[in-house]
């Protein structure tokens, strides 16, 4: 098998979708009959979460955002974060693969002692506009061939 490398770039489509959903949810919260300070708390939380999601997945601007995914000839996956850290990972069976959206659920293979337990799982949203077309096709074919961890039970977060 030839190695696959996906270099992630910012996704205008994902940023647009996240902003549209946030605006729709904000409008729904404003239409619900709640006390004004609960509406304010919900909207501030929504704005913070949307900003974080856009920074993490849309622009990939946070230090722990994944900017590169590589699959070598030995079927080993590695992600490279924006801060330069290279981490070996495996794909969970709960990942979703479609032509227009791939949601990779990854778990680290080797966890350092000082790392927290919640740091060993990560989701990557892959859309056709944030990777090269051929690399995206190769990733989807590789995932459809079932070269990832399969478990009988869904993984607990």
What does each of the 157 residues of the chain score in pLDDT, given as a tens digit?
Answer: 678 899 999 999 999 999 999 999 999 999 999 999 999 999 999 999 999 999 999 999 999 999 999 998 888 899 999 999 999 999 988 899 998 899 999 988 765 555 555 457 889 999 999 999 999 999 898 888 865 555 444 444 4
Prediction pTM value: 0.80
Amino acid 55: pLDDT: 94
Question: What distance in Å separates the CA atoms of residue 111 and residue 121, rounded to the nearest whole number?
Answer: 10
Distances (CA, A) of 132 to 43, 139, 151: 36, 11, 30
CB neighbours of 97 closer than 8 A, spacing ≥ 6?
Answer: 140, 143, 144
CB neighbours of 93 closer than 8 A, spacing ≥ 6?
Answer: 148, 149, 150, 151, 154, 155
Going through the chain in order, the beta strands assigned E by DSSP cover 4-7, 66-71, 77-81, 86-91, 96-97, 102-108, 121-126
């Amino acid at each position: 098998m030839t190695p696959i490398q996906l270099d992630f770039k910012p996704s205008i489509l994902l940023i647009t979708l996240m902003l549209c959903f946030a605006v729709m949810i904000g409008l729904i919260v404003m239409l619900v009959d709640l006390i004004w300070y609960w509406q304010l708390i919900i909207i501030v939380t929504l704005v913070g979460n949307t900003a974080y999601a856009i920074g993490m997945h849309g622009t990939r601007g946070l230090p722990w955002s994944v900017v590169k995914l590589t699959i070598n000839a030995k079927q080993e996956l590695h992600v490279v974060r924006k801060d330069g850290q290279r981490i070996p990972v495996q794909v969970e069976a709960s990942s979703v693969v479609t032509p227009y959206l791939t949601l990779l659920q990854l778990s680290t293979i080797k966890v350092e002692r000082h790392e927290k337990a919640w740091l060993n799982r990560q989701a990557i949203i892959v859309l056709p506009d944030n990777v090269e077309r051929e690399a995206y096709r190769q990733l989807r074919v590789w995932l459809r061939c079932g070269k990832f961890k399969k478990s009988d039970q869904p993984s607990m977060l």
